[in-house]
Structure formats: structure tokens, C-alpha cells
């Protein structure tokens, strides 16, 4: 057999044995047999190279190097394969790096709501819930908003046209304020009452940087034998201070809500020179008509109620300039909280 044929045969046999080596011990034995420095078959072939004629030498020398490189590479590759844990049936390679997945986080408004509940919980207010689809009685009538009141205008509310929802129970609408929960709680419980209710409300307002047609309010209600407006102011001030971490001042401006008497708009300011007062909600002493509607005796109990805009508070704390950011779902915004 000429030298080239011997090299071809060497390569074929070596590659076959390398592929057939079942573990690293068997592979090492193959390496010693074929490439071993003292007794390897390649060593013998190298010794035979001297027999080549001068003309054959470059061709045979090149083939020798190619074969040596191919067998060495095959050995290395097989070694890597054998050192990996077995590939499970079905072609799953458990050693491949996993697909990283993004860890989500709570929406800033949900975080704010949790914090509101936590702060108010420390003041003894428990959280209550009510439906977002309401009837006219709880959204208006029980809140002393008569049939001819402009707040009931269909253009200022999201009335539902769905027949199945309105059948037998009168028109339904998406609640326009969380004050509905005051009624639902007072229908169920006797005084003393100290609750908050945080949730979504809906109004067909024109959308801009501070107005949305779906936003959140926190309603507060405290009813007892001697509840006063001074306590209302204290609770609001302590709440705002706890949430914003500043010495917050609260200002009441006379206002009107059908379900409170007297009624006020609540403004807030903190120690930041040049910042104007910020309107954060409405409040007042629960109107005697509302207390009577739920079967309380207005001569024996009194109460305060307030309704704050959750987005406005959160925007103030984080310096968010546009309320639409909360619902745009831009992860660059959401990741910051
Ligand atoms: C009310 O909704 C009354 N229910 C509050 C109340 C409760 C008064 C209990 C008395 C007793 P008003 O419409 O002002 O009030 O809304 C309260 C707050 O909700 C506002 O101060 C503001 O912070 C927020 N708000 C109102 N409209 C929007 C809107 N379109 N987008 C975002 N926030 C709003």
C-alpha cells in the first residue's frame, strides 16, 4: 500500500473509532492508539515518510498534516460531547442556557393603592369594595342627587345600553365616583364606621394631561357619635404627610356636593417654594338626608366623607406630568417604579 493510501486508511479507521468511543476512557485509549507519542500508529506512519521520493514528499507531507489535524479535531469534538450531560430523549439539551424571562412588577397605581390602604389601615380605616357597574339608586338617589340634577345627565355619565344588564333593575351605569360605596357600606353596617374604598371610576371627561375618562378615587367615610370636620382635616393631613413624606398643609375651600353639608374642595401644599396649591379631592360632613336614606338617625350620629384622586397624588409624588402615561403601557415608564 502506498503512503497516501495508508494515511487514508489511518484517517478512516481513527475517525470511526473516535465516533464509536462510548466514554472518555475509551476515547483516551483511541487517542493513545492512533496519536500516542511513543506507540501511536501515526508515529509509525511518520517514520515511513522518509521512504517517499523527493517528488512525492510535498504531497505526502501535506496529506500527513491534514490527516493529523482532522483526527485531532475529531478527538477534541468527541471529548466535548462526552463531557456534556446526556441530551434527553426528544432532543432537549439541558445544558443549553435558558431563555431569560422578564420579571414583571406591580403597576405604579396598584402600588399606590396598596400604600393608601396601608396608611389608612394604620389610622383604623378598613378597606371596603363596591361594584363598578352601578344602579342609579346608589350612584345618585341615595347620595341625595335628585332626578333633575345635572350630574345625572346621560352626556356626563357612561350609561350602559345592554338589555340584560338593565332588565328589571332600571338603568345601569359605570360608577362616576366611589361615593357609591359609602351607601353600600352604611346599608350593611351600623355606626361606628371607619372605611375607605379605592377603585376605578368613569366619566366622559375630555382627556388631557390631568384628566382621564377612567381613573381611581379613594373614598373615606367615618361615622360615629361625635365625628367632626376637625377630624376630617386631621385625617387628610396625616394621610397626605404619610404618603408624600413632607409637612403637608391642607386647605378647605367652600364647595357643594349634594351628599355632604357643609362641603369643601380639599387643596394641599407642601414646603416647596413656588408650588401652587393642588386640588386633591372633595369632602364634607355626610348630609343628614344621606344618613336617613340608610336608616341612621342624623340627630344621633354624624360623619365625614372624602373622595381623593389617586392618580393626582401619585403624579405629585413622582413628578409625573401626564396622567396618560399610566395607561399607555410604555415599559420604559413602568420599569421605573
Ligand atoms: C367627587 O368625585 C366626590 N365624590 C368627592 C367627595 C367624596 C366629596 C365624599 C364629598 C364627600 P370630584 O368630582 O371633585 O369629587 O372628584 C374628586 C377628585 O377626583 C378630584 O379632586 C380629582 O383629584 C379626581 N378627578 C376628578 N375627575 C378626574 C379625571 N377626569 N381624571 C383624573 N382625576 C379626576
Write down which residue in 67, 83, 99 finishes a domain.
83
Q: Whose CA is nearest to atom 31 of ligand 1?
A: 211
Write down which residue in 24, 49, 83 finishes a domain.
83
Asked if 158 and 253 sit in the same domain, the reply is: yes
Q: Is residue 200 part of a domain?
A: yes
- For every residue of 151-166, DSSP letters joined together read GG-GGGSEE---HHHH
Asked if 207 and 267 sit in the same domain, the reply is: yes
Q: Is residue 13 part of a domain?
A: yes
DSSP 124: T
Asked if 226 and 316 sit in the same domain, the reply is: yes
Asked if 33 and 141 sit in the same domain, the reply is: no
Ligand 1: distance of its center to the CA of 102 in Å? 36
Asked if 118 and 69 sit in the same domain, the reply is: no
Asked if 218 and 143 sit in the same domain, the reply is: yes
Three-class HEC string of 207-255: CCCCCCCEEEEEEEEEEECCCCHHHHHHHHHHHHHHHHCCCCEEEEEEE
Q: Is residue 165 part of a domain?
A: yes
Q: Which of 184, 221, 214 is nearest to 199 (CA)?
A: 214
Mutate to test the pocket of ligand 1, among 217, 258, 266 (most ligand atoms within 8 A of CB): 217
Q: Is the dihedral of CA 224, 226, 232, 238 positive or negative?
A: negative
C-alpha distances in Å from residue 218, one per residue of 24, 233, 312: 69, 16, 11
DSSP 87: P
Looking at residue 168, what is its pLDDT? 57
Cα Rg of the chain (Å, integer): 40
Give pTM, 2 decimals: 0.73
- Euclidean distance between CA atoms 7 and 67, whole angstroms: 7
Asked if 239 and 304 sit in the same domain, the reply is: yes
CATH of the domain at 138: 3.30.930.10
Looking at residue 85, what is its pLDDT? 67
Looking at residue 165, what is its pLDDT? 54
Q: Whose CA is nearest to atom 24 of ligand 1?
A: 309
Asked if 250 and 317 sit in the same domain, the reply is: yes
Number of domains present in the structure of the chain? 2
Asked if 193 and 47 sit in the same domain, the reply is: no
Asked if 191 and 48 sit in the same domain, the reply is: no
Closest ligand 1 atom to the C-alpha of 207? 30
Burial class (CB in 10 A: 0-12, 13-18, 19+), 240: buried
Q: Is residue 257 part of a domain?
A: yes
- Dihedral of CA atoms 239, 212, 165, 130 in degrees, nearest 10, equals 0
Asked if 214 and 321 sit in the same domain, the reply is: yes
Establish whether the linkage from the previous residue to 262 is cis, with ω within 30° of 0: yes
List residues bridging with 266 in a β-sheet.
252, 281
Ligand 1: distance of its center to the CA of 125 in Å? 20
Write down which residue in 50, 83, 116 finishes a domain.
83
Q: How many C-alpha atoms does 125 have within 13 Å on its Cβ side?
A: 29
Distance of alpha carbon 14 from the chain centroid: 58
Asked if 174 and 72 sit in the same domain, the reply is: no
Q: Is residue 220 part of a domain?
A: yes
Helices (H) and strands (E) in the chain, counts: 12, 10
C-alpha distances in Å from residue 160, one per residue of 16, 131, 179, 199: 77, 14, 19, 19
Cell numbers standing for residue 272: 416647596
Q: Give, in degrees to the nearest 5, the angle at Cα 288 between 286 and 290.
A: 70
Q: What is the pLDDT along the chain (337 residues), one digit of tens a residue?
A: 688 999 999 999 999 999 999 999 999 999 999 999 888 899 888 888 888 888 888 999 999 999 999 999 999 999 998 887 666 566 777 788 888 888 888 999 999 999 999 999 999 999 999 999 999 999 999 999 988 899 999 899 999 987 555 555 688 999 999 999 999 999 999 999 999 999 999 999 999 999 999 999 999 999 999 999 999 999 999 999 999 887 788 899 999 999 999 999 999 887 676 777 888 999 999 999 999 999 999 999 999 999 999 999 899 889 999 999 999 999 999 999 9
Looking at residue 220, what is its pLDDT? 98
Q: Is residue 102 part of a domain?
A: no
Ligand 1: distance of its center to the CA of 329 in Å? 24
- Euclidean distance between CA atoms 67 and 74, whole angstroms: 11
Q: Are 313 and 326 in contact (CB under 8 A)?
A: no
Q: Is residue 98 part of a domain?
A: no
Ligand 1 pocket check for 199: Cβ under 6 Å? no
Q: Is residue 100 part of a domain?
A: no
Ligand 1 pocket check for 305: Cβ under 6 Å? yes
Domain that holds residue 180: 108-334
Amino acid at each position: 500500500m502506498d503512503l497516501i493510501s495508508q494515511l487514508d486508511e489511518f484517517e478512516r479507521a481513527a475517525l470511526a473509532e473516535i465516533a464509536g468511543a462510548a466514554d472518555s476512557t475509551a476515547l483516551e485509549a483511541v487517542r493513545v492508539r492512533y496519536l500516542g507519542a511513543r506507540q501511536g500508529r501515526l508515529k509509525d506512519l511518520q517514520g515511513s515518510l522518509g521512504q517517499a521520493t523527493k517528488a512525492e514528499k510535498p504531497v505526502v507531507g501535506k496529506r500527513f498534516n491534514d490527516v493529523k489535524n482532522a483526527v485531532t479535531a475529531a478527538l477534541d469534538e468527541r471529548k466535548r460531547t462526552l463531557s456534556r450531560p446526556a441530551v434527553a430523549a426528544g432532543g432537549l439539551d439541558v445544558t443549553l442556557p435558558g431563555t431569560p424571562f422578564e420579571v414583571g412588577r406591580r403597576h405604579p397605581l396598584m402600588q399606590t393603592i396598596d400604600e393608601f390602604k396601608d396608611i389608612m389601615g394604620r389610622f383604623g380605616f378598613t378597606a371596603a369594595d363596591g361594584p363598578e357597574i352601578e344602579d342609579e339608586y346608589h350612584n345618585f338617589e341615595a347620595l341625595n342627587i335628585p332626578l333633575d340634577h345635572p350630574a345625572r345627565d346621560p352626556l356626563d355619565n357612561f350609561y350602559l345600553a345592554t338589555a340584560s344588564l338593565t332588565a328589571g333593575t332600571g338603568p345601569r351605569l359605570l360608577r362616576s365616583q366611589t361615593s357609591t360605596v359609602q351607601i353600600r357600606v352604611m346599608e350593611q353596617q351600623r355606626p361606628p364606621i371607619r372605611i375607605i374604598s379605592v377603585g376605578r371610576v368613569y366619566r366622559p371627561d375630555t382627556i388631557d394631561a390631568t384628566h382621564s375618562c377612567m381613573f381611581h378615587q379613594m373614598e373615606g367615610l367615618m361615622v360615629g357619635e361625635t365625628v367632626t370636620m376637625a377630624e376630617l382635616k386631621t385625617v387628610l393631613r396625616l394621610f397626605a404627610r404619610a404618603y408624600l413624606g413632607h409637612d403637608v398643609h391642607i386647605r378647605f375651600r367652600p364647595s357643594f356636593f349634594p351628599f355632604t353639608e357643609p362641603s369643601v374642595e380639599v387643596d394641599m401644599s407642601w414646603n416647596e417654594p413656588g408650588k401652587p396649591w393642588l386640588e386633591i379631592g372633595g369632602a364634607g360632613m355626610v348630609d343628614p338626608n344621606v344618613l336617613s336614606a340608610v336608616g341612621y338617625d342624623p340627630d344621633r350620629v354624624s360623619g365625614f366623607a372624602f373622595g381623593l384622586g389617586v392618580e393626582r397624588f401619585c403624579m405629585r409624588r413622582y413628578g409625573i406630568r401626564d396622567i396618560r402615561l399610566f395607561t399607555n403601557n410604555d415599559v420604559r415608564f413602568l420599569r421605573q417604579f
